[in-house]
Amino acid sequence: QQNILWNCPNCGAIYNYNQIPTTSLCFCKKKDFSHNDYTDENQRIAVTIWREPHSCGEVCQKPLKNRSVTETTKKHDSCGHTCLQLCHPGQCPPCPRSIPNCDCYCGAESTTRRCSDSQWSCGGTCDAPLPCKIHSCPLPFHPGSCPPCTLASNQSCHCIKHSKMLPC
């Protein structure tokens, strides 16, 4: 049994005896090719000749993910839409749906955008107060909290007699 090789009828991959898969699901995991439901070889060839190996040929319908990472979960959440491509290998592409009235981060502008790019910056300066409470954020509007201050300010020592320029 150690020298037995098996060729996958879908993609031609060669497996050793101990690597032979027990199931053969398509990429979207809707169809199991382990059990051949075709009545004759000509029907199997007619169905699979124009299809990628291991694809069922149906619409993928996996839930799509947002490109942006949420602050609370630190992961990509589902946008609520499903993949419209035919059953395919690898990750699903970004969501192609159009979303009307997508506000920029500051809320000053609104436009129709692709669902995968619905969070956007109008390019205006953030100007939110930084944690040092002396300077404001110089970056364009952005999601989440502002970065630490990289500027210097005149800071006094505890005796208040001396001061010096130090990083915030």
Three-state DSSP string of 48-102: HCCCCCCCCCCECCCEEEEEEECCCCCCEEEEEEECCCECCCCCCCCCCCEEEEE
Average pLDDT over residues 96-116: 89
More confident residue, 24 or 100: 100
Arithmetic mean of pLDDT, 144-159? 85
The identity of residue 139, as a single letter, is: L
Neighbours of 32 (CB within 10 A): 12
Q: Which residue has the higher pLDDT, 46 or 17?
A: 17
pLDDT at site 136: 92
Q: Is pLDDT of 8 > 70?
A: yes
Q: Which residue has the higher pLDDT, 40 or 96?
A: 96
Which of these ranges, 5-9, 27-31, 93-97, has the smallest mean pLDDT? 5-9
Measured in whole angstroms, how far is the alpha carbon of residue 4 from the centre of its chain? Answer: 40
Query: What residue has token string 């009307």?
Result: 100
What is the model's pLDDT at position 128?
Answer: 92
